[in-house]
Amino acid sequence: MTNEDFMREAIRLSTDGVRSGRGGPFGCVVVRDGRVVGRGNNQVTSTCDPTAHAEIVAIRDACRALSTFQLADCTLYASCEPCPMCLSAIYWARIPSVYYGNSRQDAAEIGFDDDFIYGQIPLPPGERRVSMKPLLAGEARTAFTEWAGKPDKVRY
C-alpha cells in the first residue's frame, strides 16, 4: 500500500464517523511495516469524552494491538493536521512521521479552531485562561522522590 492508500483510509474513517453520527469529521490510521495497526475516528460526542479525537483513538488502538506504549517504528496518517492535544500524544508515543490531509486553517473554517490553545501553551501558568495554582508541592514531591529512586521503573 502507498502513503495515499493509508491517507484514503484515514479520510474514509473521517467520513464514516460523520455519517454514523459518532463525532466530528476526523479520521486516523497508524501504520507499521506497511500495514494498519491502529484505526480511529473522532468519537467525542458519542463517548462523551473530549479526548476521543481520531488520533488519540488510533494511537490507543495501535498500542493495544502491539502491546507497547511507544510507536517509534510507526507512521500516523490523519485526515486533518493534529490539534495540540493530539500532537502531544504523537510526541509521547514517539511517532516519528505524520501525514495529514486538511490543515488546521481548514478545520478553523468549519468551527474547529485550535489557535486559542496554541496561544495558551507558551504562556506562564499564571497567565493562562485556565486558572493554574500550585498546591501541596511538598507532599506531591513524595511520589517523584520514590520514582527517582525506583530501580525497576519502566521509563517512557
Catalytic residues: 55
Task: Please spell the DSSP secondary structure of 85-143, one letter per residue.
Answer: HHHHHHHHTT--EEEEEE-HHHHHHTT---HHHHHHTTS-GGGSSS------HHHHHHH
Residues 6+ apart with CB under 8 A from 12: 27
For residue 79, give the H/E element and its range.
Answer: strand 74-80
